[in-house]
């Protein structure tokens, strides 16, 4: 590359000729990207049911404090807040990497919250 190319306006492509939007989920014409885009990101019922379940689990944690009179049931609440936040961010992903990170955070937050609930039920 010549030094004068650094002074000009930026291109829409990088050094290897790859379009900057090539890594966006659903940008390619493959079947898996299309299936994901149509099934999860476009279907409000699937998304709202996941948010509803995570919200119910969070309400159960808060309700457990009132019923038990002990702050121990609030331990899994943080995991469910992480799951709700990552589900919210999952709808606006721009790359496959963000999709993977927020998807794993949503699943991990839900699973760890349920595991903590099981431990707390055993302790109390």
The pLDDT value recorded for residue 46 is 78
**Which domain does 63 fall in, by range?**
44-123
pLDDT-based confidence at residue 14 (cuts at 50, 70, 90): very low
What is the reported pLDDT for 116? Answer: 93
Q: Is residue 115 part of a domain?
A: yes
Choose among 37, 18, 17: nearest CA to 27: 37
Residue 80 inside a domain? The answer is: yes
Is 76 part of a structural domain of the chain? yes
Please say if the pLDDT value at position 94 is more than 50. yes
pLDDT of residue 28: 57
Residue 33 within any structural domain of the chain: no
| Number of domains composing the chain | 1
Tell whether pTM > 0.75. no
Separation CA 9–CA 119 (nearest Å): 58
Mean pLDDT score, 27-42? 62
Residue 117 lies in a domain: yes
Spatial separation of the C-alpha atoms in residues 2 and 18, rounded to whole Å: 20
Q: Is residue 8 part of a domain?
A: no
Q: pLDDT band at residue 3, thresholds of 50, 70 and 90?
A: low
Pair 24, 36: CB distance under 8 Å? no
């Amino acid at each position: 590359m010549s030094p004068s190319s650094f002074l000009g306006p930026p291109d829409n492509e990088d050094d290897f000729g790859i379009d900057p939007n090539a890594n966006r989920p659903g940008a390619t014409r493959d079947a898996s990207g299309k299936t994901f885009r149509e099934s999860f990101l476009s279907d409000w019922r699937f998304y709202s049911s996941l948010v509803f379940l995570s919200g119910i689990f969070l309400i159960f944690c808060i309700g457990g404090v009132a019923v038990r009179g002990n702050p121990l049931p609030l331990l899994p609440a943080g995991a469910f807040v992480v799951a709700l936040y990552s589900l919210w961010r999952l709808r606006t992903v721009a790359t496959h990497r963000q999709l993977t990170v927020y998807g794993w955070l949503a699943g991990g937050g839900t699973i760890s919250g349920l595991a903590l609930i099981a431990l707390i039920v055993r302790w109390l």
